[in-house]
Copies of this chain bind each other. A is one copy, B any other.
Amino acid sequence: MKDRMRIGDLSERAGVTQRTVRYYEKMGLIPPGEREGNGQHYYTEETVARLRKIDQLKKLGLSLEEIRDVIDLYFMDPSGVQPKQKVLGILRQHLSEADRKIEGLQQFRTDLLTNIERFEQWLKDAEQL
């Protein structure tokens, strides 16, 4: 609930390791948060949300690189104007890829069901002996 966590609290609240936080930081997935001259990094509540969103997207099969391309849209403040038309393109691309994957998975699902049924039937038949 604080807006000045160190990496320990952050990682615990987000459910990731400190190594992961540092890795994502270096990869540009989350903003860095150094403070003063001491060297320790301080993070805010939004970073927790970012880490959780990243985790969600990962579970959908997106790579960190892909996530880096879209993550900002989830935390866009309506003030950062720019040639972000590019982002739109990326989004559309991800959209059609998602469509492809969904279609493929549904086909796979159907195949699995068919196989299961065939298999059960075959087991039943074998029992008759």
- A6-14, A25-33, A42-50, A91-99: which one contacts chain B? A91-99
Whether A104 and B59, one on each chain, are in contact in the complex, defined by CB atoms closer than 8 angstroms, is yes
Copy number in the complex reads 2
Q: Do B95 and A112 have beta carbons less than 8 Å apart?
A: yes
Picked from B81, B108, B120, the residue with its CB within 8 Å of the CB of A57 is B108
How many interface residues does chain A have, given as a range? Answer: 35 or more
A102 to B49, CA, bound (A): 23
A112 and B94 form a contact (CB under 8 A) = yes
Contact with B along A106-120 (1 / 0, CB 8 A): 101100110110011
- Interface of A with B (CB < 8 Å)? 56-57, 59-61, 70, 73-74, 78, 81, 84-85, 87-88, 91-92, 94-95, 98-99, 101-102, 104-106, 108-109, 112-113, 115-116, 119-120, 122-123, 126
